[in-house]
């Protein structure tokens, strides 16, 4: 299993506060069945601004320790870019997920679709594919808004099946409204990364419902833990309950 979104590096963002904590997180991720983890520290101007070389150095240092301790986990680099008005400052120095063309991006809670479309189009022009980090946590996609939006019930299901014939069909009782941004993202064949804690209800019912809804549409292409701490990993996999 590959974890496509994880804050495993120590002291670089709001992830683990020490190398020891990173090691224990890695140990538990391996125990949970992961063999590869993308280390994706935040890139948020004014808050977390480590440069790409620091991320790579942090990964090689941590990988060396894990190898020494016999923890079988391969670390790869990436970033989680915050799609605010400062994002364009980084457009010529973007770090996609290692060995891929995917760029992990987080849509801010208070934004508007036009800005999202402009920024993602700029990423495309860099020959990269935007990967939306945990869209189920973004209120633009909350299940209620998507399913209850009035009139013009364009068929997202048809669109999805045209683009990806193998995508799972919608539950029959659900009318799908035209969430234009969601339509646009699917049409452009961007990637969608779900957070495991969303499905487990760790962020609450609304996000869980949205995750299940987006999953029922078949939009998710990748999955991640978005783990930030040892406590978070313990909670996610129930290891603390086993002790
Ligand atoms: Fe994250």
Instruction: Tell me, in angstroms, the distance from the centre of ligand 1 to residue 6's CA.
Output: 6
Q: Are 96 and 80 in contact (CB under 8 A)?
A: no
Q: Which residues of the chain have pLDDT under 50?
A: 146-154, 168-176
Residue 118, pLDDT score: 94
Instruction: Tell me, in angstroms, the distance from the centre of ligand 1 to residue 104's CA.
Output: 9
Residue 69, pLDDT score: 97
Write out pLDDT tens, residues 38-50: 999 999 999 999 9
Instruction: Tell me, in angstroms, the distance from the centre of ligand 1 to residue 177's CA.
Output: 29
Considering Cα of 214, then 217, then 221, then 224, what sign does the dihedral take? positive
Q: What CATH superfamily classification does 2-242 receive?
A: Metal-dependent hydrolases (3.20.20.140)
Q: Are 191 and 221 in contact (CB under 8 A)?
A: yes
Residue 217, pLDDT score: 85
Instruction: Tell me, in angstroms, the distance from the centre of ligand 1 to residue 225's CA.
Output: 8
Q: Are 45 and 84 in contact (CB under 8 A)?
A: yes
CA pair distance 223, 1, nearest whole angstrom:
10
Domain ranges of the chain: 2-242
Instruction: Tell me, in angstroms, the distance from the centre of ligand 1 to residue 2's CA.
Output: 15
Instruction: Tell me, in angstroms, the distance from the centre of ligand 1 to residue 105's CA.
Output: 9
Instruction: Tell me, in angstroms, the distance from the centre of ligand 1 to residue 224's CA.
Output: 9
Four-CA torsion 169, 4, 89, 55, nearest 10 degrees? 180
- Our CA angle for 212, 8, 43, nearest 5°, is 80
């Amino acid at each position: 299993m590959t974890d496509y979104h994880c804050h495993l590096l120590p002291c670089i963002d709001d992830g683990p506060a020490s190398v020891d904590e990173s090691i224990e997180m890695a140990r538990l991720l391996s125990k949970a069945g992961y063999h590869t983890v993308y280390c994706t520290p935040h890139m948020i101007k004014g808050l977390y601004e480590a440069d790409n070389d620091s991320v790579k150095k942090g990964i090689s240092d941590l990988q060396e320790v894990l190898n020494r301790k016999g923890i079988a986990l391969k670390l790869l680099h990436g970033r989680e870019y915050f799609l605010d008005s400062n994002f364009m400052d980084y457009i010529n120095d973007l770090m996609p997920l290692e060995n891929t063309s995917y760029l992990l991006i987080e849509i801010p809670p208070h934004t508007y679709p036009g800005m999202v479309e402009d920024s993602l189009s700029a990423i495309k022009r860099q020959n990269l594919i935007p990967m939306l980090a945990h869209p189920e946590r973004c209120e633009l996609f909350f299940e209620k808004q998507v399913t209850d939006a009035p009139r013009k019930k364009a068929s997202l299901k048809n669109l999805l099946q045209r683009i990806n014939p193998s995508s799972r069909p919608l539950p029959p009782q659900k009318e799908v409204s035209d969430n234009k941004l969601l339509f646009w993202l699917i049409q452009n064949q961007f990637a969608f990364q779900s957070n495991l804690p969303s499905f487990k209800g760790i962020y609450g019912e609304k996000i869980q419902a949205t995750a299940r809804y987006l999953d029922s549409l078949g939009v998710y292409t990748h999955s991640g833990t978005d783990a930030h701490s040892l406590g978070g990993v313990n909670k996610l996999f129930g290891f603390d309950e086993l002790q």
